[in-house]
Every structure is written in C-alpha cells, then in structure tokens.
Chains A and B, each alone.
Chain A
Amino acid sequence: MSQSLLRFALVGNPNCGKTALFNSLTGARAKVANYAGVTVEKRLGSLSGLGRPAELIDLPGTYSLYVASPDEQVARRVILGEMAGEAAPDVLVAVVDATNIKLGLRLVLELQALGLPMILALNLADAARSRGITIDTAMLSQQLGMPVVETVAVRKNGVADLQSAMAECAANAASRSGQLALPERAEAVEALYARIDQLLATSVSAPSQAPAWQDRLDALVMHPVLGLALLATILLLMFQAVFAWAAPVMDGIDAVMAWLGESAGALLPDGILHDFVVDGLIAGVGGVLVFLPQIIILFAFILALEDSGYLPRAAFLLDRLMRGVGLSGRSFIPMLSSFACAVPGIMSTRSIADPKERLVTILTAPLMTCSARLPVYAVVIGAFVPQQSVWGVFNLQGLTLFALYIAGIASAALVAWVMRRREAASQGFPLLLELPNYRWPNAYHFVLGLKERASIFLRRVGTIILALSIVLWFLATFPHAPADATLPAIEYSFAGMLGKLMQPLFAPLGFNWQMCIALIPAMAAREVAVSALATVYAVGGEAALGGALLRDWSLPVALAYLAWFVYAPQCLSTIAVVRRETNSLRATVIFTGYLFALAYFAALLVRQMAALWA
C-alpha cells in the first residue's frame, strides 16, 4: 500500500455540525487558507492515528450537488476535483444531523452516485437520543453499503468511532488524482425521498419533533415585534460590551507596552536605534495590539450567535425590511460578518443566489463598521467624548460608538436603495432559509474559533502592521531637522512633506497634515492610522496619544475624521476582494470612487454642522 497522502473531505448540509466535527478530528492542527483562484476560505487539517499521512478538508455546507448557490458550487467543485491544482478527495465523510436525518440523507444518496468511498457520520447523536430518536446504525450501514457511525462532535470521545472507521478506510483506499464527472441526476427527487422513507422505516424510529423549549424560544425570537426588540438589544449589548468590558484588559496591555518602551529606552543609548525601537517598533505595534481585547469580544459575540442558530432567525425577521431597500434576509449574514471584517463578509455573499442583490451587498457591506476601524474610533472617542453615563445604564462613549455603527448601517441601506430603486426589488429569487435547531455554543469549538481569529489579528500585527510601522518611522525620521530648526523635527521629514502635500486637498475638512499622513498607511490596514498618529505625534500608549490629539484637534475636526473613517474604503484587501468577487473592474472603480466621495462629503458636512453647533 502506498503511503501517499490520503485526502478526506467533510460534506454535509449547512448547520449539521461539520465544523465542530472538523475541530474535534483535527484539533488545533487546523489551518485556514483560501482556495486557489477563488476567495472562499478552506479549512485544512492533518489527521493523525490513521496509519498513513492524511488530511481533512472542511467544505461549505450544501443541500445539493445539482441546484446550487455560489457557495454550494464551491463545495461541488471541490468534491468533483474541479478546483485548480486539486484532485477530487479520496474519501467523503458525509455528515448528517441525526435530528434532521431526512434532509441529510438526500445529499448522502446524491453523493453516493459519485462512486467515492464514503463514511456516514450521524452527528448530534446525543441530541437525537434525548429526543427519543433511535437509529439502527448497523441496519442503515447495511442498506446504504457504507460504514455508519454516531458522533457527538462537541464531546471529546464523541468521534472515536469515526476515527476508527476512517482508519479502516485509510487502510484500503488509494489516493487518486484527477476529476470526477457529475453523473446525470439518476432519479427524480420524489423517488429519492421514497427511497429515504424506506431506509428510515427500517432503521430509524423517531418522534421527529423538536423539544418544546425550542418552539417556545422561537415564539419569542421570531415574534414580529418582540423578536426585533430582542435583536436590537443583542446588537446594542454587543457594541456596549466591546467598549466597556475590554477597557481593563486594554489598560493592562497599554501599561505593559509603556513599561516595555521605558525599559527598552533605558537600556538603549540615546540615538537613532533608541528612537527606532521606542517610537517606531514599540509605539507602532503596541498601538494596534492594544485592541486585541475588543476584537476578541466582537468575535466572541459573532461566533456565539453563529453557533447558537440565531443568525438565520435574524435574517428571517429582517427579510421584509431589507427587501425594502432591494436586499433580502440573506444579505444579513454577510452584513453582520462585515462588522468583524468586510473580507469574509464579502466572501459570504456567495450564499446569495440573486446576482444583482449579491453585487449590491458586496458594494455596501464595507459600510458596516469593521474591527479595523475600532482602534481609530476608540482612540478618537476616548480622547474627545467624555466618560459619562447616560440614563444610568449606557455610557456616552459606548453610545457614540453605537451611533457610528448606525451611521454605517443607515448609509448602506440608503446606498442599496439608490442602487436598486429602478428595478423591482429582489424579485424572482427565493429566500428558502433553513432555521436550524438552537444549540448551546460549545466551549471547545468556541475557544478554537476565537483563537483562530486572534491569531489572524496577531499575524497582521506581526507582519503588515510591523512593516508599516517601520516604514512610517523611517518617513517620520528622515531627513533629520536642520540644526537651527525652530519647528518640531517631523515637519522636516518625508512624512511631514507628504502630509503637507496632501493637506490642501483635505483643508475643507479641517484635517491637519498629521491626520493626512495617517491616511496613507491606513490604506493597507485602517488600524495603522492609530500607530501612524502615535508616530507623527511621537507618543506611546493610547492614553498619551489621546492627550496629544485633544491638544491638537478641535472637536468638529475629530468628528469629521470619524465620519471619514465611516465611509472611506481605506482597505486595499477589501478593494482586492471586491475586484475578485465581482470580477469587474468597473464595479471596483465605482465601489472605490463612491465611498471616497461619500467619505469626503460626510466629513465636510459633519465638520460644518459640528462647528455651527459648538
């Protein structure tokens, strides 16, 4: 038997617990990557204990190989080996939610026609048992002609049987190369379901009713009025938490960074190296690192909402409302993901079947306030908005942040409406949204997800942000000020010159040249604006930076700067992903142009209004 790499793929309906199964099988060895040529995240992990090298691929959830939305097409293309440079997988591990077995088995029967070795994992076996569903796995296995194992992905020992089935498969299966052809649909859907009913009749006994608490919860969550109130409360709580709960940890990181700067400063002799390490490296990287707690809290909310099964309900509630501006409930999930980062948000628009709605969602999703804007907002709000409580519960800083989020959402709605007002809103494409069972988010799975997100952020800090901090420090340091300089040294540097070159363009907005210079590196990553400001003002630590801004900026200008960041497409990765996902230069130019125009106009308006009011 050859010892070549054996490739397993996890296939199943959306929400059947595939990702939890993936995490349990691969542990922390998983890595996130993109498919070559298309921007859909693929999660890959190595499998051990199978007696030969093997890896596992996690695929987007899919209902069918035949009728497909764009994300289901990705799953199909991977299964068939149509992805550039990748053969079809060697073994399919079909995952079926044991509490929702009928829908899952339909896909299994479709997959079986491909002729690949298969293993069937009946996931959520514990939930099925507690509902009184009993499954005769031996019988099912015999009838289907494939190994069938029960799994409980969220439990440590819940995948042992699956692992041994996979090991057995690994001993016999050969690794393959090349593509598979999708066979003609062998039988009508009706016949397929008739076969499933026969299978179920002999091997499953089920009072297939969800527990009553699920229905009671749905009565509240999906209530037309109470449900929307609950949604608003959850979102408000999320934004409040990002600000209030993160503060102590952020202060801690800030203090560590300040201490690090001082210690390094004391060790190094005065001179260029001293300045580079203290003002360039530590101030630059520390300025962004301090936002890790806020980003973790934001992702914690998003992951928990994703895991619990709540998000599709929110999409259900908002569908009619979003149709009013030419979108649909399906746009809600990409929009919500964009609060973390527009790049995965834009990628997740692949679940939108209507190409026009998908385009409008792509063009407006980056108006959702992403986590990279958070550092900029946090510093400016922290410096200019007083820390006082409103109605006893909220604090003014949290509310200001909430207002910025709302500004982004309202603008997205307006832009979508303008883009789609000439056509009948989103007609002709079905919603067909599965509302999965509620589940408690699982701690292991949750922590792993957070770790993944945190490490992506830290990698950014360690690479692009570090590099930009160094470049910025260089620009802000050279050339040195002349000996008889009367102005601060930075005014003589490249950064000073560049900022002054840009400043006339931004003069109507009230931006000074320091603010202008920070906009340039912010194109690579918005949060670098913060470290850029720290570098040009030559201060370290969030508190010190806040103080410097408060001395140098007026309130209207600070607010105008915030308004600029609400709209400006200050993110090359987003522009690149728009280009890739729309496959249209024209759409990308429109995207970049309209957002910069909006940013300029909004900043101008905010400054004028704030100046009048003040």
Chain B
Amino acid sequence: MSHTATPLHLLPKGARATIVDIASHSHFGELDAQVTLRLKELGFLPGAVLQVIGFGLFGADPVAVRINGTKFGLRRSEAAKIITTVHPA
C-alpha cells in the first residue's frame, strides 16, 4: 500500500483519496489562510475521503470532486492545496 502524498489536482478522474493535509499555497497570497478555512468549513478536512468526478474543458481546470456526499467545483490552484493519499484502485 503506497502512502505517497499527492495534491488533488494531480489525481486522475475517478480516483478516490483520503485528505492528509490542507497546505498553504503562494497563489492566494495573504488570503491563503481564509481559503484554507473555507475549504475546511466545506468539509475538506484531514481524514475525509473524496472522489474526483470530472474536469473542465481547458487544462483539466476546474476539477469536480465529491466529499461527504456533496459535489464541489474547485480550481486547480485550490485543489493544489489539498494533499491526499490515493486509495488503490
């Protein structure tokens, strides 16, 4: 069983993964803490299981995921904050 940490935006469609961390990301500058908090409020917490369900047309952006039975659309930059370990297929 591999436990390599992979950011969400690099996961393939259909992948299931467990969140291990919400990392900081320079993209959001001083808003980064706010974005982290909002992600957590929406249920993106370490330990939660998510599944990648689809991508947008251009550059696989945004990415759609399901978590706690709810679907969300996230940009690659937001998804990059979410560090996961992939479940074996």
Q: Tell me the residues in window 61-81 of chain A with beta carbons closer than 8 Å to chain B beta carbons.
A: 63-64, 66-67
- The complex places the Cα of A17 from the Cα of B57 at a distance, in Å, of 30
Contact between B73 and A431, CB atoms less than 8 A apart: yes
Nearest CB to that of A110 among chain B residues?
A: B41
Nearest CB to that of B34 among chain A residues?
A: A67
Binds B, one of A95-103, A459-467, A521-529, A572-580: A95-103
A427 within 8 A of B: yes
- Residue from B38, B46, B55 in contact with A432 in the complex, judged by beta carbons closer than 8 Å: B38
Number of interface residues of B (CB under 8 A): 36
- Residue from B57, B71, B72 in contact with A224 in the complex, judged by beta carbons closer than 8 Å: B57
- The complex places the Cα of A106 from the Cα of B40 at a distance, in Å, of 11
The total of Cβ contacts below 8 Å across the A-B interface reads: 121
Set of chain A residues within 8 Å of B68, measured between Cβ atoms: 100, 102-103, 208
Contact between B43 and A193, CB atoms less than 8 A apart: yes
- The complex places the Cα of A436 from the Cα of B73 at a distance, in Å, of 10
Number of interface residues of A (CB under 8 A): 42
Contact between B75 and A319, CB atoms less than 8 A apart: yes
* Contacts known (A208-B68, A431-B78); A222 close to B45, Cβ less than 8 A: no
Contact between A103 and B73, CB atoms less than 8 A apart: no
- Residue from B45, B53, B78 in contact with A189 in the complex, judged by beta carbons closer than 8 Å: B45
Set of chain A residues within 8 Å of B37, measured between Cβ atoms: 66-67, 189
A259 within 8 A of B: no
A114 within 8 A of B: no
- The complex places the Cα of A431 from the Cα of B71 at a distance, in Å, of 13
A176 within 8 A of B: no
* Contacts known (A67-B34, A427-B27, A430-B78); A316 close to B43, Cβ less than 8 A: no
- The complex places the Cα of A316 from the Cα of B73 at a distance, in Å, of 6
**Per-residue CB proximity of A176-219 to B under 8 Å, as 1/0?**
00000000000001100100000000000010111000010011
- Residue from B38, B56, B70 in contact with A100 in the complex, judged by beta carbons closer than 8 Å: B70
Contact between A432 and B56, CB atoms less than 8 A apart: no
Set of chain A residues within 8 Å of B41, measured between Cβ atoms: 63-64, 66-67, 106, 189
A223 within 8 A of B: yes
Contact between B57 and A315, CB atoms less than 8 A apart: no
Nearest CB to that of B32 among chain A residues?
A: A428
B53 to nearest A CB, angstroms?
A: 7
Contact between B69 and A209, CB atoms less than 8 A apart: yes
A132 to nearest B CB, angstroms?
A: 12
Contact between A435 and B56, CB atoms less than 8 A apart: no
Set of chain A residues within 8 Å of B45, measured between Cβ atoms: 189-190, 193
B83 to nearest A CB, angstroms?
A: 16
* Contacts known (A63-B42, A189-B40, A430-B35); A320 close to B73, Cβ less than 8 A: no
Contact between A208 and B56, CB atoms less than 8 A apart: no
B23 to nearest A CB, angstroms?
A: 14
A317 to nearest B CB, angstroms?
A: 6
Contact between A320 and B58, CB atoms less than 8 A apart: yes
- The complex places the Cα of A193 from the Cα of B54 at a distance, in Å, of 26
* Contacts known (A67-B38, A435-B64); A102 close to B59, Cβ less than 8 A: no
- The complex places the Cα of A209 from the Cα of B49 at a distance, in Å, of 13
- The complex places the Cα of A213 from the Cα of B42 at a distance, in Å, of 24
Set of chain B residues within 8 Å of A552, measured between Cβ atoms: none
Contact between A432 and B78, CB atoms less than 8 A apart: yes
A398 within 8 A of B: no
A433 within 8 A of B: yes
Q: Give 18 CB contacts A-B under 8 Å.
A: A63-B42, A102-B69, A106-B43, A189-B41, A190-B40, A193-B45, A210-B66, A218-B54, A222-B53, A224-B55, A228-B57, A319-B61, A320-B61, A430-B39, A430-B74, A432-B42, A432-B73, A434-B70
- Known A-B contacts: A218-B54, A317-B57, A320-B62. Give 7 more (CB < 8 A): A100-B68, A206-B69, A320-B61, A427-B77, A431-B74, A432-B72, A434-B70
